[in-house]
Amino acid sequence: MVSSTKETGTPRRLLVTGGAGFIGSNFVHYWCDRYPEDRVVVLDALTYAGNRANLAALENRENFQFVSGNICDRALIDRLLATENIDTVAHFAAESHVDRSILTPDAFVQTNVVGTFTLLEAFRQRWESVLKPSNESHALFLHVSTDEVYGSLSATDPAFTETTSYTPNSPYSASKAGSDHLVRAYHHTYGVPTIITNCSNNYGPYQFPEKLIPLMCINMLLGKPLPVYGDGQNVRDWLYVVDHCTALDVVIHQSQPGETYNVGGNNEVKNIDLVQMLCQLMDELAPQLPVHPANKLITFVKDRPGHDRRYAIDATKIKTQLGWTPSVTVEQGLRKTVEWYLDRRDWWKPLLSEEYQNYYRQNYDI
């Protein structure tokens, strides 16, 4: 289903922004393992959600390089594109947590809008001066975005398609919508080979503890309350992060510049049902929990301001055009994820810093 760069005889040279974050690090692991002939350069500012430990297993790979830096640093971007002879940018770097965007929206505008603009300008210059004149056929700027740009759905609304109007409802989704529009404009105005993907809620290994699934897993292990917003009836489509990586692989190798693809897991679940599923898995896999059964810890808290009711992805386009479908059900993915967090206490315990604890208390008031 996915063509290999070995078949074309032309290895890629990728710059992966945000490659020490959750989705980015999973993508880097996937790509380095699947395409060892490709060069992968990770650029990450190592803010609170970026973790160098996510990439520890790759540090000695010849095809891998880590660079600490900010995507708003134009001089650094220009230097990396030139010295590493980059032909493909996989852009994951973003401030991505809705709750934090409500508390500190300025960081989201700076990283998600200004940072994406900085990358686009640098790549446009390289495209016009180097890649296009040399007929670099697989040059690409892949922009990884979110389904939240489309706004909220009612229980009976059809799922989001690639032609759904943008109606962002949080500073986070608004900043991602702005970056999407910039990427699209750079293709249509300058001919830069860009692709946009809009994915549903990802989950899996290396996800920072503030997000719903790792938050629930870790709080159960610590015997702390499990905060659920409002009535818990908000619906999300859940996509296992490795499935997302396979989708991006297909998009990079098989799609045409200028396209947009929705990537979903076909797993719509109410938040309260998801938390109950996690509780059942924890009861089974970690029988020595401080509180048993774990669902005794469920605590309903004040709803998030502007909380979108439902997201749902229609991934028909990527299925019909590129042959991609998710392979992991939410039941399978949650079990894999719970097992990972049980096995990797060494990874998540250091992340529960004083800054994280302060954010937690400020956001949930429990």
Please give the positions annotated as active site.
Answer: 147-148, 172
Whole-angstrom distance, CA of residue 74 vs CA of residue 23:
24
Beta strand ranges found along 54-181 (DSSP E) = 64-68, 88-91, 140-146
Q: Three-class SS of residue 97?
A: coil
Q: Three-class SS of residue 338?
A: helix
DSSP state of 232: S
Q: Which of 143, 155, 87 is nearest to 117 (CA)?
A: 143
Q: Which residues contact 266 (CB under 8 A, 6 or more apart)?
A: 237, 315, 325, 326
**Positive or negative: CA dihedral 17, 20, 21, 27:** positive
**Is the CB of residue 77 less than 8 Å from the CB of residue 17?**
no
